[in-house]
Amino acid sequence: MSTVTPMMAQYLDIKAQYPDALLFYRMGDFYEMFFDDAVNAAEALDIALTKRGKHNDADIPMCGVPVHAAEGYLLTLIRKGFRVAVGEQLESPAEAKKRGSKSVVKRDVVRLVTPGTITEDSLLEARRHNFLTAYCELRDQAALAWADISTGAFHVMPVAQVRLSPELARLAPSELIVPEGPSLERLRPVADDHQIPLTPLAKSSFDSTAAEKRICDLFKVSTLEAYGTFSRAETSAMGAVIDYLEITQKGKLPLLQSPVQESEDRVVQIDAATRRNLELTRSLTGARTGSLLAVVDRTVTPAGGRLLEQRLSSPSRNLDVIQARLAALEFAVEHTQLAEALRAALRKTPDLDRALSRLALERGGPRDLAAVRNTLIQAEAIFDLCAGNNLPDHLKTALSSLTGFGELLPLLDAALIAEPPLLARDGGFIAERYDGELDEARTLRDEGRSVIATLQKKYADHTGITSLKIKHNNVLGYFIETTATHAEKMLSSPLSESYIHRQTTANQVRFTTVELGEIETRILNAGNLAMEIEKRLYTRLSDAILADAAELSAAARGLAELDLITALADLALGENWTRPTIDNTRAFDISGGRHPVVEQALRQQGGSSFVANDCSLSADRGAAIWLLTGPNMAGKSTFLRQNALIALLAQMGSYVPADRAHIGLISQLFSRVGASDDLARGRSTFMVEMVETAAILNQADDRALVILDEIGRGTATYDGLSIAWATLEHLHEVNQSRALFATHYHELTQLAGKLTGVDNATVSVKEWEGDVIFLHEVKKGAADRSYGVQVAQLAGLPGSVVARARDVLDMLEESSRSGGNKIQIDDLPLFAAAPPVQPKPASGPSPVEELLNSIHPDDLSPREALDALYRLKGAVG
């Protein structure tokens, strides 16, 4: 058996502490991986797998990545589901040798990189939060806490287990922490549904008593009462987040903001299926492109983009909050010049939140210092731009956070150059004339010769010896050299008191001075000294920033709010959106409503303009339901979705794509649109449809807005019809919601005469010579048929199939009109018995073909061309 080397023993000892993570083991300019880590990493990163020595008589697999390119490899590994323990060298090889020639450089893990704890810009999406979540259940209580260490956001809310999935869909976290034990496997399917990595943590991390102390220690308070009244489950969830951060960040806790307590009744409840169906932040393909967020995002800062996604995912149910946001937006719409000036200033604003986070975690650099400075410069300019305007309260609140940095801004402005380097070790980021000691060190470093020349002239003037020289060699270093004749003068008083004899040669005598010795030392050490001074100043500036961290975080939130307001104003003006009326009634009255995503797509494709439609679901009490019929491809699904999106945008605090909109607050938004299966969990398309419908019927209240499309289509006709019928009745009688219910079951239109809250509506079409033309207009009334055969023809089904379908449809409809209860297959001629008409084989050219062959278009005058056309028409007739 081979002997384990000291270095490999150190590696194995560190690796044993992190068995579930890949260990990046720092060796000089590379992070090396060994054994199974190397095999897994080489495959995941598509890099070469080599070997290094032997262990237990077997080759040790090894691979490595350069330190300077590590971030890119980390991103790949994190996206592929790995966790990475970063083991750094804690001393230099020279320092290790002081303990003995065979001593191994000290190493230890300085950070555990997981999906929810990354802070590097290259690993994060600038316009998305990166939430780390923790879920805790304590007897009859449950809570969810979440934090984004890259921005400092920290929130908590009570959440029942049934609401966990919708909340995860809203937050879209990168990692979910849960206690070890029986609940782990029960929660795994929920995490898998949302593709969230699940991380088990010891139950001690969720202990509520320890959690409270952990939170108080972090925020340096004696009690949590200053932040609200938290349940034990909420306290435990928050404590678990903090404990996990202590574990992964190795004690360097991020700059978390004070915990914000949320509740379910403050925002519109939207389940995962509805978010997916409405494509709020991601399209059905999973991309941002094609989503509502992509269409409405005109923010000019990353923080504004993150705030927009948050608002879009969590529309408010607080009427005062919505009205305040709309008032601020109306001001921006009416003051376009000011809004554009604000947007111009905001474009120059760096991502302050993430710069602060990196500085707090000691992962920042000079550019983060400059980001704070540049943000404060723009904040001051923005505040001045708004001075003298009669602003609404919401804007005043945002602006109030941008002042109060009278000491920090001058400090940073004086200390930093305009464009600092990325890393502090690169140096050169402190401005000239900021620190006298640094300027002197730089002068010695960069202008050593001129310093010596100046000193030589000084000594020549002092001694009166014009031939005096200052020279340098590797033995004596810097020295003063003069001839033996002149040396006698320097050896005599009073010069002998200043000039110290060093060496006498055949023709020269060499001296030094205390000043020259000091300058020599300083010149030789000037580079290192300059670097040390800059590092010291970097720490001082960083500490000054972190001392104002709370105020800076508030300024970042204020700037994000201004960005969102002015972006929504730009959107409203550019797209001709209007301010909605929002109140506590049960109104839902939309005039000229449009689907923002479809409208933009039509414009980009250069196609026809979007056809706007009205929708009225107002009811003082009871249900208000539109039963929508009409053919496929006519726009029913678009109409359903656009009204849901208009309601969502309105309660987010945005203008809406409509001529007019009056919306009574909605509490929940449900959408059952589209068809998909879930093969991994053994669910057919119809089963998925029924599960989603069941969730709606079991949860929707009288303040909900429900849109349902083609309920029951995945099973037999009568089964589907009966399910759709019963669903509509339940919505009307039990849920009493405002709803849009699209169907191809025309039998349901009879319910409009029996249920007081149900009205029929249809999408208009026009038939022309056997073809169907979609008008995309929604009007009151019921469709007489679905035009499915015509749509099949448009889709390109073979003509024989379309013709046969028409024959069968005619027979079925005739049977239905004559009162037949069941169609006998014998009543319908088989397809084979009634083949489509085949063209007769031609025995020669037809008259039309002969005429065409005789025509030469290039030789025809206009009159001759018209005559030829008439001859062709006659031949066809």
pLDDT tens across 202-214, in order? 999 999 999 999 9
Q: Is 55 helix (H, G, I), strand (E, B) or coil?
A: strand
632 assigned to a ligand binding site? yes
How many other β-carbons are positioned within 10 Å of the β-carbon of residue 458?
Answer: 12
Q: What percent of the chain has pLDDT over 90?
A: 55
- Which pLDDT score, from 0 to 100, does residue 627 have? 94
Identify whether the C-beta of residue 249 lies closer than 8 Å to the C-beta of residue 111: yes
Label residue 842 by pLDDT band (50, 70, 90).
low
868 assigned to a ligand binding site? no
- Which pLDDT score, from 0 to 100, does residue 50 have? 93
| Region label for 607, one of left (φ > 0), alpha (ψ between -120 and 50) or beta (otherwise) | beta
d(CA 346, CA 402): 12
464 assigned to a ligand binding site? no
State the pairing for strand pair 58-66/30-34: antiparallel
> How is the beta sheet containing 141-148 ordered, strand by strand?
198-201, 175-179, 132-138, 141-148, 153-158, 260-261
d(CA 416, CA 290): 42
635 assigned to a ligand binding site? yes
Is the pLDDT at 828 greater than 60, yes or no? no
d(CA 276, CA 271): 9
- Which pLDDT score, from 0 to 100, does residue 680 have? 44
Label residue 679 by pLDDT band (50, 70, 90).
very low
115 assigned to a ligand binding site? no
Is the pLDDT at 817 greater than 80, yes or no? no
- Which pLDDT score, from 0 to 100, does residue 834 have? 46
d(CA 126, CA 717): 49
The structural architecture, per CATH, of the domain 6-113 is: 3-Layer(aba) Sandwich (3.40)
The residue-averaged pLDDT of 91-109 equals 85
Mean pLDDT, the chain, whole residue set: 87
Fold of 581-793: Rossmann fold (3.40.50)
Is the pLDDT at 832 greater than 50, yes or no? no
Identify whether the C-beta of residue 186 lies closer than 8 Å to the C-beta of residue 143: no
Label residue 695 by pLDDT band (50, 70, 90).
confident
- Judge: domain 436-536, CATH 1.25.40.10: no
> How is the beta sheet containing 581-583 ordered, strand by strand?
581-583, 660-664, 588-593, 613-616
Which residues fall within 8 angstroms of residue 493, CB to CB, at 6 or more apart?
none
d(CA 365, CA 359): 7
Candidate from 366-370, 755-759, 855-859 with smallest mean pLDDT? 855-859
Label residue 684 by pLDDT band (50, 70, 90).
low
In our burial notation (b when 16+ CB lie closer than 10 A, e otherwise), range 206-221 reads: bbbeebbebbeebeee
Is the pTM of the predicted complex or chain greater than 0.95? Answer: no
- Which pLDDT score, from 0 to 100, does residue 877 have? 56
- Which pLDDT score, from 0 to 100, does residue 451 have? 86
841 assigned to a ligand binding site? no
Q: Which two tokens stand for residue 259?
A: 């915990």
Fold of 139-266: Nucleotidyltransferase; domain 5 (3.30.420)
- Which pLDDT score, from 0 to 100, does residue 818 have? 66
Question: What are the start and end residues of each CATH 1.10.1420.10 domain in the chain?
Answer: 299-405+549-575, 436-536
Is the pLDDT at 674 greater than 90, yes or no? no
d(CA 323, CA 663): 12
Q: Which CATH class is domain 299-405+549-575?
A: mainly alpha
- Which pLDDT score, from 0 to 100, does residue 829 have? 56
630 assigned to a ligand binding site? yes
d(CA 54, CA 721): 71
- Which pLDDT score, from 0 to 100, does residue 658 have? 97
Is the pLDDT higher at 605 or at 10? Answer: 10
634 assigned to a ligand binding site? yes
d(CA 392, CA 326): 10
- Which pLDDT score, from 0 to 100, does residue 678 have? 47
Candidate from 73-87, 213-227, 393-407, 759-773 with smallest mean pLDDT? 759-773
The angle formed by the CA atoms of residues 128, 131 and 137, to the nearest 5 degrees, is 150
